Amino acid sequence: MIDQFAGGNIELSNLQENFSFAGVSCGLKLSGKKDLGAIFCKKKALTFAVFTQNSVAAAPVKISKKRLNKNKFIRAILVNSGNANAATGIDGFNDAIEISKNFSDLIGIEEDEVLLASTGIIGVRLDKSKIISKIPALVDRLTLNNHLDFKESIMTTDRFEKEYFETISSKECGGIYIRAYAKGCGMICPNLATMLVFITSNINADEKILKEMFINCVNKSFNAISVDGDTSTNDSVFFMTDMSCPENTINNREDNLIIEFEKALNRCCIKLANDMVRDGEGSTKILEVRAIGFANEENAKKVASNIAKSTLVKCAFFGSDPNWGRILCAAGNTNLIDEDSVSIKIFDTEVYNKRPINFDKESLSKKISDNERVIIEIYNNSGDKSFTFYGCDLTFDYVKLNSEYST
């Protein structure tokens, strides 16, 4: 039923996508690489978004939030990399408004039908004239096929592109699709900000159902990862659908297509979130931490995230050290576990069970060393709720990347 990336049994030629993409270079990046991108929808697209919880939010975040509060039917998103337009005060805010106006006027849509996103250096005003001069070229290039350019234009120091495409067959409309592009979560270079995700689709379902699915998927993916425990000024995740498929709105949460779609959306978000962690600054390993058997999901999340974020745990796994003492200690810092009732596994090896137990340390260390993804499980006995949190190891390269002088 589901075909990731390729299309498989769905005739992709029948698939109707109303979104178009573009990416150009406007000169914000000194390298001359693409740094200005846009997504445009032929129709009004139902749009949800979540933004950074940092009170220091960049101008584009403030503007997008405000617009989405007034208007959930959006036509376009304008993105730049190379400059985050964060901590730039009222001047930066006005710059963003002017750029947005220029873009919406040229396309011929309302001002508040445009959302904005920026990523790059913090605290430096962006050169709006560079952006404005390239908006006509950008708008000219808007086609579905130019998603490759878009993908490039949102990157900063990401080591690889992060994308997702999946289709779900449906009797009508040539299939339901999820298409997504993301840029990395690590605040990789000095003053660089951060996580941007753009998901487009044609799913047609009740707004409340869609919003709930979106929030759920975000919480289990983009809100369940950490490279260094810091959230940035610019983090934004957008979901847009033109609601063209199926032809009649699905109002039933239990509808098969909705269930399939939610699974697919979840796969999409988990995949992109994992890509971000894998691309975290200098990281060599993903730490997948599963907290199992808690009274509620919130507690499970606190325990899993405290383990994944502990610098001591992160360093230990960089050194391929199956250091359960640090895992237990990090979990204990939440005050939500009792050492006399928990057990800990690294991959399939039990390393602690209510008290220290013997295990083959050398062989487990070798397994950690041989794998890019390390599975850490902590079992509690206070309920049936679980949460998986994704982190990465802490390496020499992280310190190197983040301590190099910013100019």
| 284 annotated among ligand-binding-site residues | no
Under the binding rule (CB under 8 A), the answer on residue 365 touching its own copies is: yes
If 0-12 CB within 10 Å is exposed, 13-18 middle and 19+ buried, where does residue 265 land? buried
The H-or-E segment that residue 43 falls in is strand 36-51
Residue span 129-148 as binding mask against its own copies, x where in contact by CB under 8 A, dash where not? --------------------
> Is 402 marked as a binding-site residue?
yes
Pick the stretch among 37-45, 72-80, 270-278, 347-355 that binds its own copies (CB under 8 A).
Answer: 347-355
Residue choice 18, 169, 333, 349 for contact with its own copies (CB under 8 A):
333
Parallel, antiparallel, or unpaired: how do β-strands 2-4 and 286-294 relate?
A: unpaired
Binds its own copies by CB under 8 A, chosen from 45, 46, 121, 286: 121
Residue 28 and residue 126 in contact, taking contact as beta carbons nearer than 8 Å = yes
Per CB under 8 A, the list member of 207, 339, 360, 381 interacting with its own copies is: 339
Cα separation, 80 vs 36, in Å, equals 4
What is each CA distance from 267 to 175, 188, 260, 272, in whole angstroms? 17, 25, 11, 9
Note whether 324 binds its own copies by CB under 8 A: yes
CA 344 to chain centre: 29
Give the span between the Cα atoms of 359 and 314, in whole angstroms: 21
**C-alpha closest to that of 165 among 179, 146, 152, 176:** 179
From residue 163, alpha-carbon distances to 154, 186, 220, 309 in Å are: 12, 17, 18, 25
Helix (H, G, I), strand (E, B) or coil at 8: coil
What would the two tokens of residue 285 be?
A: 């390993």
Sole window of 65-73, 159-167, 257-265, 393-401 interacting with its own copies (rule: CB under 8 A): 393-401
Q: Are 104 and 69 in contact (CB under 8 A)?
A: no
In this chain, which of 66, 101, 159, 361 binds its own copies, going by CB under 8 A? 361
- List, as one string, the DSSP characters of 159-206: SS-EEEEEEE--SSTT-EEEEEEEE--S--STTEE--EEEEEEEEEE-
CB of 225 to its own copies, least distance (A): 15
Binding its own copies (rule: CB under 8 A), the pick from 111, 207, 298, 404 is 404
329 touches its own copies (CB under 8 A)? yes
Do 36 and 80 meet the contact criterion of CB atoms below 8 Å apart?
Answer: yes
Alpha helix ranges (H) inside 80-159: 89-107, 128-140, 147-153
Is residue 191 involved in binding its own copies (CB under 8 A)? yes
Nearer to its own copies, 8 or 319 (CB): 319
Q: Does 123 bind its own copies (CB under 8 A)?
A: yes
Candidate list 47, 52, 88, 194, residue with the active-site label:
194
Contact status: 331 vs its own copies (CB under 8 A): yes
Site for its own copies in 88-107 (CB under 8 A): 88-91
Binding mask 214-233 for its own copies (x = CB under 8 A): --------------xxxxxx
Task: Name which position in 12, 109, 315, 375 contacts its own copies (CB under 8 A).
Answer: 315
Q: To the nearest whole angstrom, how small is the minimum distance from the Cβ of residue 100 to its own copies?
A: 20
C-alpha–C-alpha distance, residues 62 and 120, integer Å: 16
DSSP assignment of 63-74, as one string? HHHHHHHH-SEE
Give yes or no: 284 in active site. no
Task: Compute the least distance from the CB of residue 123 to its own copies, in Å.
Answer: 4
Q: By C-beta, is 233 or 244 nearer to its own copies?
A: 233
Q: Which lies closer to its own copies via its Cβ, residue 124 or residue 132?
A: 124
Catalytic machinery residues: 194
Binding site for its own copies (CB under 8 A): 53-57, 86-91, 121-125, 187, 190-191, 193, 228-233, 310-312, 315-316, 318-321, 323-326, 328-340, 352, 354-356, 361, 365, 394-396, 398-400, 402-407
- Show binding-site residues for substrate: 156, 183, 194, 281, 402, 407
